[in-house]
Structure 1
Amino acid sequence: MPEVDAAWEEWLSSNVVRGCSPDSMIEAMVRSGFAADAASVAVHRTLGQNSAGAASVAAVAASAASAASAASAAVAAVASTASAASAATGAARAAVAPCTYQYDAVPVARGNVIRAYDRDVRVLMRCERPQVIVFADVLSPDECGEMIERSRHRLKRSTTVNPATGQEDVIRNRTSEGIWYQRGEDPFIERLDRRIASLMNSPVENGEGLQILHYDTTGEYRPHFDYFPPDQPGSAVHTAQGGQRVATLVVYLNDVADGGETIFPDAGMSVAAMQGGAVYFRYMNGQRQLDPLSLHGGAPVLAGDKWIMTKWVRERAYG
């Protein structure tokens, strides 16, 4: 039976913020293998002191229990074909409660070729739900090589935001090394910042500094969200300046022989890591809703290594 680990806690918190009903969350957890009473307790705890929410949880627990036996049979059949590693990751993403995210117009320009500041960038694929765009030629091979060589000897173990404190913690779900560059810190970085801002159709000042990440063979980043969960205390530390993250661009600095794709597990989508290419995804709309289908991760590198460059964009000027 699955446990309510950090990934499930993030899922619960995100769905509460999105306005999902206790009923839908409990039923989703039951479909993923939880006992109805355990699911009810987890949802109740997440709702906290909300007495109305607690009453709703109690009211739906009985109906969720009646679905548990049928759901457990289906879960057992799936589990018999899944590896231990994929089951652990799958538990974090398996259930998405049925809340409605309103997809509005993506800000990226239309067309199959986009003039991004100083470079023509080809569009390879567009997806509407979630809003994902795959590009080619965002960086030249020489630019990719320069970015790798600049970063190689400055790498440190990557961190993630602690949801309770907002501090940066090293966790086992993210096995990479990285380095941050100040926005516009030299002419080369400034040119890339301007190109990416033009491609994403966002002001340069709304972007965080470029982050370079390196993954060795077996390195991965398990499925997660890039936005800061609004209900978690630690998020306030990061949204106080610049507001919420709204979109991400991941640029691939080298070809990966096998593995290392950017995966969107709830959308059934993956993007292969090809040098100079990139994947854009947007997860906050004009109403400040957050898209649960933006759950994504970096699949394990099965051969060779992987270098990527990431740009996160905020609601307003950052830094």
Structure 2
Amino acid sequence: MTKVFDAAWHVWVADNLARGCDKSELRDILFKEGFSQEQVDKAIAPQHFLNPYKKKDIPKQELADRYDGADYNALANLPIVVQEHPQITPFKNDLIQLFVWDDFLSAQECEKMLAIIGDNLRPSTVTQFNGDDAFRTSSTCDLSFLDDPFIKEIDEKLAKAIGINPSFSEGIQAQRYQVGQEFKAHTDYFEPHTNEYLQFAQRQGQRTWTFMIYLQDTPKGGGTKFVDLRHTFYPKAGQAVLWNNLDENGYPNPYTLHHGMPVEEGEKIIITKWFRAKGQGEMFS
């Protein structure tokens, strides 16, 4: 029998959200209390995000006018999505387009990238400060700012693998997480109708796909936890995890909410490339 989500629980959720509590922690508490995925979604997620993959009959011109003119349906049907690949495993959940690509980078490529990253780190930042100084505590390496042909080669390899023109992307970036460091639950897309969107999406548009690669194994902790899917990927050298941050109509998909979990032993080092809705020339290569 499903537990009743009564008025008292709704008040509890509202109060904690108003206080700025971490949504992922609230979700974990509600799941432990025995509430279903649907009940938790209705309590925490905005109403128009409850079913991000629901088909919407929106005229193509209206989509072009409202959402940067990108072909979001094509972005949701890339070759990696519709074609079988022996090293690519789709995550079996209709709420998200997410794939795992084993051995995307070789051991030699990982080692070479690790050597470059080690000397070029700075404290990581967030697009909009939420008042939590411990929200993101990793270090970042702006790989695309370095004049290195190997970095350019890897950057192009990611774009070619996903089939999107590099012009429709950001340059690759690296993050290092040492013991205790994390990136609390967040989404990669820019929240529409906010200052964040105005500041970061005006030139290149919304973020579409995320392409993340683990450069080494992490002995303990450091997983990438997709909060609403209740699944965690643990760092494995050379493995890529990639996902579409939007649905087929260009709406942000809240089920992409993920938490870079604290490292408990060793360290986690990843490289990430974000693709965008705007660029030069044809989007698909």
TM-score range, shorter-chain basis? 0.7 to 0.9
Q: CA deviation at 1:298?
A: 0.8
1:20-60 Cα deviation digits (max 9, x unpaired) = xxxxxxx8996466276x58x95xxxxxxxxxxxxxxxxxx
Counterparts of 1:277 and 1:135, CA distance in 2:
6
The one-letter amino acid paired with 2:228 is D
Match of 2:112 in 1: 146
Counterparts of 2:220 and 2:10, CA distance in 1:
30
Does 2:226 match 1:261? no
Does 2:216 match 1:251? no
After superposition, the Cα gap between the structure-2 partners of 1:154 and 1:231, relative to the gap in structure 1 and judged at 3 Å, is: same
Identical positions, percent: 26
After superposition, the Cα gap between the structure-2 partners of 1:29 and 1:100, relative to the gap in structure 1 and judged at 3 Å, is: farther
After superposition, the Cα gap between the structure-2 partners of 1:317 and 1:30, relative to the gap in structure 1 and judged at 3 Å, is: farther
Counterparts of 1:256 and 1:229, CA distance in 2:
31
Q: CA deviation at 1:184?
A: 9.0
SS in 2 for 1:191: helix
Relative contact order (alpha carbons < 8 A, sep ≥ 6): 1 or 2 greater? Answer: 2
Match of 1:159 in 2: 125
SS in 2 for 1:285: coil
The answer as to whether partners of 2:117 and 2:143 remain within 8 angstroms in 1 is no
Report the count of equivalent residues: 235
Among candidates 118, 122, 126, match of residue 91 of structure 2: 126
Q: CA deviation at 1:151?
A: 1.4
Equivalence map 1:63-142=2 (5 Å): 78=32, 95-98=44-47, 99-102=50-53, 105-109=76-80, 110-113=83-86, 122-127=87-92, 128-142=94-108
SS in 1 for 2:91: strand
Counterparts of 1:263 and 1:76, CA distance in 2:
17
Q: TM-score, with normalisation over the residues of structure 1?
A: 0.65
1:92-151 Cα deviation digits (max 9, x unpaired) = x983345221266442422123xxxxxxxx113433421110111111111111111111
Counterparts of 1:226 and 1:211, CA distance in 2:
14
Q: TM-score, with normalisation over the residues of structure 2?
A: 0.73
The answer as to whether partners of 1:245 and 1:315 remain within 8 angstroms in 2 is yes
Gaps of 5+ in 2: 19-28, 34-39, 55-72, 281-285
What is the CA RMSD across the aligned residues, in angstroms? 3.2
The answer as to whether partners of 1:159 and 1:171 remain within 8 angstroms in 2 is no
Query: Which structure has the larger Rg over C-alpha atoms?
Result: 1
Q: CA deviation at 1:157?
A: 0.5
Counterparts of 1:29 and 1:125, CA distance in 2:
39
